[in-house]
């Protein structure tokens, strides 16, 4: 089995990645298996930069193939915010609900609710240049929160059929999500290279 490290401690991301990579024969590790690695500061100005920072930092320490991603929500009426600050939109050490509440407040009275989730995956294999895979899911910011599945902004992100991402099963979400779209590109690359 080939080993790969996913640069996350987020259980929801871990589950999504394992669900897609284990059928390809990968043993998937996460940062939880490497407790000595401290916090990685994501101070890039783009999703690509943040994904690379995480991948390079881990590869320098672990000497393994690394998958790192950076994701965010870009809202057209807010000039692309929250963008790379999506996880800490309402400040440091806040909950998903805090971020959602602030976004809903900032969208109050705004008619243009178009938004997109973006994921950029950086695959950094030992001895290779980084490869990037991008997935985008277009939708709208809802006026109310719905659903119990997913995480982050999923309860307030409405897809084209009117459902909120948090109303989808993991299988449904994995078929259309920004992370799934980027991961599908990654998987096609991994299949070609093995």
- Return d(Cα 66, Cα 7) in angstroms, integer: 7
Instruction: State the catalytic residue, choosing from 32, 36, 70, 148.
Output: 70
The answer on whether 9 is annotated among ligand-binding residues is yes
The answer on whether 2 is annotated among ligand-binding residues is no
Q: Find the angle CA(156)-CA(179)-CA(45) to the nearest 5 degrees.
A: 85
What is the arrangement of strands in the sheet containing 131-141, beginning at the earlier edge strand?
A: 26-30, 2-6, 66-75, 114-124, 131-141, 157-158
The answer on whether 11 is annotated among ligand-binding residues is yes
The answer on whether 8 is annotated among ligand-binding residues is yes
Token code pair at residue 184? 């599908």
The answer on whether 178 is annotated among ligand-binding residues is yes
The answer on whether 127 is annotated among ligand-binding residues is no
- Return d(Cα 116, Cα 76) in angstroms, integer: 8
Known active-site residue 36: no
- Return d(Cα 157, Cα 46) in angstroms, integer: 22
Q: What are 137's strand-pairing partners?
A: 117
The answer on whether 134 is annotated among ligand-binding residues is no
The answer on whether 43 is annotated among ligand-binding residues is no
Distances from the Cα of 172 to the Cα of 23, 41, 162, 168, angstroms: 18, 32, 14, 6
The answer on whether 93 is annotated among ligand-binding residues is no
Sequence ranges of the binding site for Mg(2+): 70
Active-site residue numbers?
Answer: 70
Sequence ranges of the binding site: 8-13, 70-71, 151-154, 173, 178-179
Sequence ranges of the binding site for substrate: 8-13, 71, 151-154, 173, 178-179
């Amino acid at each position: 089995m080939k080993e790969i490290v996913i640069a996350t401690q987020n259980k929801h991301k871990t589950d999504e990645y394992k669900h897609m990579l284990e059928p390809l024969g990968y043993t998937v590790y996460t940062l939880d298996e490497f407790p000595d690695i401290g916090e990685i500061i994501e101070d890039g100005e783009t999703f690509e930069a943040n994904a690379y920072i995480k991948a390079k930092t881990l590869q320098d320490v672990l000497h393994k193939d690394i998958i790192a991603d950076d994701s965010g929500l870009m809202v057209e009426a807010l000039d692309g915010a929250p963008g790379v600050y999506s996880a800490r939109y309402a400040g440091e050490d806040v909950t998903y609900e805090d971020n959602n509440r602030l976004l809903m407040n900032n969208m109050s009275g705004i008619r243009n609710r178009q938004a997109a989730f973006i994921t950029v995956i950086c695959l950094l294999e030992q001895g290779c240049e980084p490869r990037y895979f991008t997935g985008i899911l277009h939708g709208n910011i809802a006026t109310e929160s719905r659903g119990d599945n997913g995480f982050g902004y999923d309860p307030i992100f409405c897809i084209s059929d009117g459902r909120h991402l948090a109303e989808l099963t993991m299988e449904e979400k994995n078929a259309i999500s920004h992370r799934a779209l980027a991961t599908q590109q990654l998987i096609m690359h991994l299949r070609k290279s093995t």
